[in-house]
Amino acid sequence: MNVALLRGLAVALSLMAGTEVHAAGRLTVEDAWIRAAPPGAMMLAGYMVLGNAGDAPVVLAAADSDAFGEVSMHRTVEEHGVARMRPLERVSVAPGQRVVFAPGGMHLMLMQPKRALHAGDRVTIRLMQTDGAATPVEFAVR
């Protein structure tokens, strides 16, 4: 092959690589809160509104916190007139979409708090995405 042609091809490829656009999700979190519970409660619930300001889906796979022994995602469902909690393996947030974690629906189950939490306290919970990203979110106890 012609050397000039090879150089031209190399320049064209490098220019294309420099302008390559990657789609990416961008997780946003609003109104993150934990319901205050009576002293000695071994399970609390966390709520929030998730958003995606990016141009690709964001998929949550887990959550964790130094303030709790275990954190998991759940959904409350009604079966035969009885409310039951079912674990969520993943929660997907499409671009421009909002996903609400609220009482009676999706929520974070916060097991074995490592200290008593009172209204006004703040707790950090990390939201883990399937792409490996971790988003620390400050939750207000109320």
Q: Report the pLDDT value the prediction gives residue 59, as an integer from 0 to 100.
A: 97
Q: What is the dihedral of CA 68, 52, 61, 35, to 10 degrees?
A: 30
Q: What is the dihedral of CA 47, 53, 58, 64, to 10 degrees?
A: -40
**Residue 17 located in a structural domain:** no
DSSP reduced 3-state for 80: coil
**Residue 106 located in a structural domain:** yes
**Residue 117 located in a structural domain:** yes
User: What CATH number is given to the structural domain containing 46?
Assistant: 2.60.40.1890
**pLDDT tens, position by position, for the chain (142 residues)?**
566 655 655 555 555 554 455 678 899 999 999 999 988 899 999 999 999 999 999 999 999 999 999 999 999 999 899 989 999 999 999 999 999 999 999 999 999 999 999 999 999 999 999 999 999 999 999 9
**Residue 11 located in a structural domain:** no
User: Quick count: other Cβ atoms within 10 Å of Cβ 34?
Assistant: 26
Q: Which domain holds residue 65?
A: 23-141
**Residue 18 located in a structural domain:** no
How many domains does the chain fold into?
1
Q: Report the pLDDT value the prediction gives residue 34, as an integer from 0 to 100.
A: 98
